[in-house]
Amino acid sequence: MPEYHAPLRDMRFVLHEVFAAGQLWARLPALAGTVDAETADAILEEAAKVTGELLAPLNRSGDEEGAHWDNGVVSTPAGFREAYATYIEGGWVGLAGNPAYGGLGMPKMLAVQFEEMLYSANTSFTLYSALTSGCCLALDAHASEELKQLYLPRLYSGEWAGTMCLTEAHAGSDLGLLRTRAEPQADGSYAISGSKIFITGGEQDLTANIVHLVLARLPDAPAGSKGISLFLVPKFLVGSDGALGARNSLSCGSLEHKMGIKASATCVMNFDGATGYLVGELHKGLAAMFTMMNYERLSIGIQGIGCAEASYQNAVAYARGRLQGRAPGGTQAPQKSADPLIVHPDVRRMLLTMKALTEGGRAFSTYVAQQLDLAKHAEDADERRRAEALVALLTPIAKAFFTDTGLESCIHGQQVFGGHGYIREWGQEQLVRDVRIAQIYEGTNGIQALDLLGRKVMANDGAALRLFAEEIRAFVDTPAAPRPFASELLSALERLESISTWLLEQAGKDPALVSAVAVEYLNLFGYVAYAYMWAHMAAVAQASRASNEAFYGAKLSTAQFYFSKLLPRIHSLDAVIRAGSAPLLELADDQF
């Protein structure tokens, strides 16, 4: 059975050396005194034990057993209930939650490292608490004080769980089509009726109650997305003292039979006049739900990084031990019948691709989390606004690029194993199946690309992109910027700016252009963003190399691989974008 060991040294490198998190937290009043570098390290150490010793051993068995449905009752696989009880004893669900309602108030920069460990160890298990964390964010931002006092402490403790109920059979990405209804009641509540599909953790046996956030329409609501409201609908009704009452009028109609994440209960949920409570303002539910959605998008992006890290660890261990053939430059292990796989250039190509993309993603997720911490806690209003603009710009990249490259890395890891990668016992095929959904849910990656190019770049004439570009240029101009990586980063940035300008000029002439090239644009942007991260890491590695040649030398060698072997992908992406929409539209519909 494959094992998982959290990459603590690398996480500390990113958190403390690359982004100086302790210094940032010390200047943010809400975090100063709550967390410092020593506290963060202690939390990461404990998180590594929880994920490696408690959750990872349940990953394969949970996949093989799956979640069970029996006449509306859902059971999680053997060991999940006991593991969840231990998990919530540690307060892990509320790690980054609002302390006013029982959360621990830890910064997002720390939380993303923990999330990566969770997804590496056991994606299916992780999804139960990930949805709860997102539910808490939406309630904290938009619910009434009464609802927050009643629900948030029990959600942060893990005693109750949360879900997000958006999708309907006929309404996926286009939520304006949803039909679930909310009828106002005399007591101020609403009767919610309708069916939702693909609801993660919609029913399970881990918690005493489940809090559903449901998008629905009032009878007189405007058509389209502007007529959607958000409602809190508990599985069990809750008294004013928090005690559980009668079961609400809702049920799990079935579980989906899926390609992966089989231990995660993906439910069809039926609401039959269920009692619900308005969250936020009437007809503005989509905006409220997006508070949760944006959190989940970063979290699901990190699923890509986590699965890739697990696949990389497995693949490296296998490549070191599996003997196959002789190295092209001459025998490396003459005392053995063959050389280990790791000496072969093509195997090294796959391993280095995985390493460069995963470590680049880890740095970028921490960077986005840094912006989230600044947007939430910075005292200076301009600093908050700048961070908010960067979060809006970079979130679709984090979700889509992390998961696209996560699948690529998991496939590479499977390939390193050869035929054994296709066999269940080695764990690689499960990682491929589990990570695949991350490109689809929480907004498909195609939707993320449209959001990036259409809403975050084109709509404001590239203002947020200019903020990001200015930051990169400022870094390149510093004496510490690593050579020659800094000049290569600058060249890549100029290509991103050039293609962005071209798109701004051409979009008015071609209404299909943005939709036709958005995915390639997002990927190009992603590779440039990773180049910025690798330049940052290389700068630290160059300055510190003498103190630890093995660790920092490896960083510099991996940076060299990224800049010479992966960043050049932007040239082909640039060419595809400039080809425009015509090649996609010339074929008539009936010619497909």
Q: What is the dihedral of CA 158, 370, 139, 298, to 10 degrees?
A: -80
Distance CA 369, CA 374 (A): 9
CB 6 within 8 A of CB 51: yes
Which letter does DSSP use for residue 248 in this model?
A: P
Q: Which residue, chain included where needed, has tokens 């606004």?
A: 385
442 is an active site residue: yes
Short-list 412, 433, 405, 425, CA closest to 315: 412
Short-list 6, 564, 121, 113, CA closest to 368: 113
Token digits for 395? 């979130």
What is the DSSP code string of 293-305?
HHHHHHHHHHHHH
Query: Which are the contacts of 183, defined by CB distance < 8 A and separation ≥ 6?
Result: 190, 191, 193, 218, 219, 273
Catalytic residue among 296, 442, 488, 520: 442
Query: Which are the contacts of 172, defined by CB distance < 8 A and separation ≥ 6?
Result: none
CA distances from 29 to 19, 40, 201 (A): 18, 17, 36
What is the DSSP code string of 161-221?
EEEEE--BTTBSS-GGG---EEEE-TTS-EEEEEEEEEEETSS-SSSSEEEEEEEEB-TTP
Q: Supply the residues annotated as catalytic.
A: 442
